[in-house]
Amino acid sequence: MAKEKLRKVANNSLVKSLEKRKGKKLQQTLNFDSLVKKLHEAIETFPDNRKGTNLSKDFKNAALGGFAIFYTQSPSFLAYQRTMQEMSGQNNAQSLFGITEILSDNHIRKLLDGVAPGYAFSLFSYIFDSLNKSGYLDDQYRSFNHNILLGLDGTQYYSSSNVYCDNCNQKHHKNGNITYFHSVVTPVIVRPGSNRVIALAPEFITPQDGQEKQDCENAAAKRWLRAKGSWLKQLGVTITADDLYCKQPLCELMLKEGVDFILVCKEESHKTLYEYVEFQKEDIQRVKVSRWEGKRYLVDTYRFINGVPLKDGDDALEVNWCEIITRIEEKEKEKDKDTNRSKVIYKNAFATNFEITEKNVKEIVADGRARWKVENENNNVLKNKGYHLEHNFGHGKENLAALFATFNILAFLFHTVLELVDEKYKLIRQTLPSRETFFQDIRALTRYLYFDGWETLMRFMIIGLKKQLHMIPLPDT
């Protein structure tokens, strides 16, 4: 027994030691300076079609300046640093992002308009590969069937009735007016129980060469799946998405590409499936789970059946269907006797290619519900938590709107990764859980004070917050 105890202690120590080493290596790979270095490398691949000599410097500074605005969530960041340079001969744009010349907003927009967003996608790949090769995704983001759970959703990031470009989609109104808009599909890695999503390179919904029909979210999703299929299959992926994606052509494409799916399946858009479920209701299996949530007593009722047609017709794809209904169970006293009352607070249903059993239905539903994280933890953050995705930072005539949207998503990814792997950043965000407060402090500090690097800024904030960690060597103040 004593030997067995010693062996367990030794194994636990070894696991902790390996995890510590992996975390340290990942922090070196994905620290702020490493990310900015990779940003420089990506920008150096941006095409510059201007004629003349000694132009590349301006071009690189334009791209770095554009990204810095989104990273700091400060539209005036460059203007503040220009003033600091004039007053003190140094500025944070140079020390943090390596910007050697601060250009005007109009100059930046003009220079970057011709750059397709795909030239920045290598940064998404670098971050994903670093997380994956380190084992971080296996440790933290594997879900049911040991798959990576990947949420897909489309969102609009630009709309106007008079400013447009060749890449705009159009909505024609009955009164003859036209709304021009840009949309994008945002793939993100999600996990039930975690509010941190990891963004992948977006797929823009934009008119395609040689296509008569206007591009749409469904077509963009198919395009993305065909382009990423072999990679997704090798990785082991489950797609989770809303009812728009629960259509036979998309489901068949997912299966063809070796990808599993758990998709929202609404009754109003799947009449045949629900008619079959009703017809076979005696075969439906049920699982009931009771739980306490705070001061509430909840009951989750799961129903499921395997092998139902996704649509009408002999060629219908068979899927497996499950439903969850969550009720609050309450006891009320009426005339000296207790009466149980229940109120439905959540109901949803999903279609999947996984065979559903009593043992796995809870996990499958949890993965299906995690699809809301694409909206809540990604798209809504980008729109409402300081990144202002829908704000027109510059539309341009070619690619500017899409490139700025990419910079915005990439800036959010930088912050997400730092919060996951950087101890200093993590400590500050735990102390300042409000995203708004955190960025207010970043804006104020970088406006009035000069920092010779991101590490110095983080240390300054930690000292100011009077937070000390033994693993962070703080400077003598």
- What 3 state SS string does the chain have? CHHHHHHHHHHHHHHHHHHHHHHHHHHHHCCHHHHHHHHHHHHCCCCCCCCCCCCHHHHHHHHHHHHHHHHHCCCCHHHHHHHHHHHHCCCHHHHHHCCCCCCCHHHHHHHHCCCCHHHHCHHHHHHHHHHHHCCHHHHHCECHHHCEEEECCEEEEEEECCCCCCCCEEEECCCCCEEEEEEEECCEEECCCCCCCEECCCEEECCCCCCCCCCCHHHHHHHHHHHHHHHHHHHCEEEEECHHHCCHHHHHHHHHCCCEEEEECCHHHCHHHHHHHHHCHHHCEEEEEEEEECCEEEEEEEEEEEEEECCCCCCCCEEEEEEEEEEEEEEEEECCEEEEEEEEEEEEEEEECCCCCCCCHHHHHHHHHCCHHHHHHHHHHHHHCCCCCCCCCCCCCCCHHHHHHHHHHHHHHHHHHHHHHCHHHHHHHHHCCCHHHHHHHHHHHHHHCCCCCHHHHHHHHHHHCCCCCCCCCCCCC
Q: What pLDDT is stored for residue 355 in this prediction?
A: 98
- Collect all residues with Cβ–Cβ distance below 8 Å to 180 and sequence separation of at least 6: 159, 160, 161, 163, 164, 168, 169, 170
- Asked if residue 415 has pLDDT above 90, the reply is yes
Closest CA to 65 of 22, 38, 97: 97
Average of per-residue pLDDT across 183-193: 94
Structure tokens at 282: 């005696």
From CA 393, how far away is CA 69, in angstroms rounded? 10
β-strands 285-293, 296-309 pairing? antiparallel
- Taking only the tens place, the pLDDT of each residue in 124-169 is 999 999 999 999 999 999 999 999 999 999 999 999 999 998 889 9
The pLDDT-based confidence of 208 (bands split at 50, 70, 90) is: confident
Find the angle CA(70)-CA(72)-CA(76) to the nearest 5 degrees.
85
- Taking only the tens place, the pLDDT of each residue in 49-89 is 776 555 556 889 999 999 999 999 999 999 999 999 999 99
The pLDDT-based confidence of 12 (bands split at 50, 70, 90) is: low
- Collect all residues with Cβ–Cβ distance below 8 Å to 36 and sequence separation of at least 6: 96, 97, 98
Average of per-residue pLDDT across 194-211: 88
Whole-number percent of the chain with pLDDT over 70: 89
- Asked if residue 277 has pLDDT above 90, the reply is yes
